[in-house]
Structure 1
Amino acid sequence: MIRVLVVDDEALVRTGFEHILSAADDIEVVAAVAGGQAVQAARQLEPDVVLLDIRMPDVDGLTVLAQLRRLPRAPVVAMLTTFDMDEYVAAALRSGAAGFLLKDTDPLQLPVLVRTLADGGVVLSSSVTRTVVDGYLDNGPHQSALRRIDVLTGRERAVLVLIAEGLSNAAIGARLHLGTGTVKDHVSAVLSKLQVNSRVQAALLAERAGLLKPPNADQEKER
C-alpha cells in the first residue's frame, strides 16, 4: 500500500483528494490535514507521499516542505496549486519537491501520479510542464548544462532522458532492460554527478541541455 498524506487549507479539497485516492486498491490516505498539522502528522504516520498545498494562510507551503524534507523518514512531496504559474514553483523544485500538480488535475490521473511519485518518478501536470520549465530555466540550451551533462556515461545519459520524461524506476528498467536495483544505482550516479538534489532538478537540467525532443517534433519531422 502507498501511504498518502494530503495537506491543504481547504476542507473541500482535502475531502475530494481523499475520496478519489482512497478508491484505489493500492493507496491509503493516512490523513488529510491543514498546513499547521502537516509536519506532526507526517512524523507520526510516516507517509510515503505527501500532496502539499503550496499556498496556505496558516503556514507557508515552502516552510512545510523544508521541514518534511528534514524528517528522518522524509516522504516524497508533490506541491499542489490552483494556478498554472506560481512564483513559488521554482523555489519548491529547488527545495526538493518531486512534482507540481494543479488541483484540477483529472481525477482519473491522480492515483497514477501518486504511484509514479512513490516509485521515484517525476510528476509535472501535463498542462503546466512547459510553463514550469520555462519559468525555472532560461530558454534554449545552456552551455553550463551541456558541460555538466558531459560527465555522464552513455547509459547514465539514457537514464537521465527517461527521468526527464517522467518515468519511474520500474518503467526505466523496462525500457532499458535493466533491473530496478541497477536503475536506482544509475539514478543515484546521475544525481551525484550533476550535483542536484532531486529527479525534478535533473529533469530540468536535461531540458536546459537540450536532451529532450520539443513538443510535436516527430510530427514536424514527418512533414
Structure 2
Amino acid sequence: MSSESSSRRSPWRNKAVVAALAATMLAGPGIAQAAPQPAPVAGERAAAATITWTLVRASNPTTDQQSAYNLITTAMNAAVARYNNLSDLGKTITVRYEPGVPTADGNINGTIRFGSNRSYMTERTALHEIAHTIGVGTSSGWSSLGGSGTWTGAQATALVRQFDGSSAKISTGGGHFWPYGLNYENEFSGTAADRHVRIVAAMKADGL
C-alpha cells in the first residue's frame, strides 16, 4: 500500500519539477528577481539648530579695532563651539565692537556688543552674553519663570540639583542667574562653562 501511494504521487511531483524548470528557463539566464525594498523611513528627530555669528568690521580698521577684532573672534569662536557642542539652541548673532560700551552686553534681538575693556573679551563673557540673546534676562519667559528670585522651571531646576544636590536652586536677579551664570571672570572653568550651557538650554526647554 505504501508503494502504491508513492507511485500515485510521483506523477504530480514530476509535473511540479518540470513546471519549476520551465519557469526558470523562461525567466532567462542572469536575471535576479530582487524582492522590493521598503522606502527608507525619515528620522523622527529634526536636525539640531545651531548658533552662528558675524562680526561687523570696519573696512579699514585701526590698530585698536584690529586688536579687538582678534580677541573677540577668539572668544566668540570658543563660546559658540561650546554651545553648539552641548545644546540644540539656535540663534543668529551679530557682534559689534563699540568702545563706549562699559563691559559687554547681549540683546534678545541677536546683538552682542563688546566695549574697549580687553578683560571682557573672553569666552566667559561671550558665553554670558549669548545667554542674554537666548532670553536670559531679556524674554517674557524669563520674567514669568525667574521673576520671583528663583527659577521655577522644572527642567533647569532638576539639572542644577543633579549638579549640586537635591536642595540646590537657581537664583535670579538683575537679569542674571547663579550658580553657573558666569557673571564674573572668577566663575569660569571648563566644568562651569559646560554646566552654564546645559542650564541655559534647560531654561529654554522650560519656556525661557
Q: Which TM bucket (shorter chain)?
A: 0.3 to 0.5
Q: Structure 1 length as normaliser, TM-score?
A: 0.34
Please, what TM-score do these two structures have when normalized by structure 2? 0.35
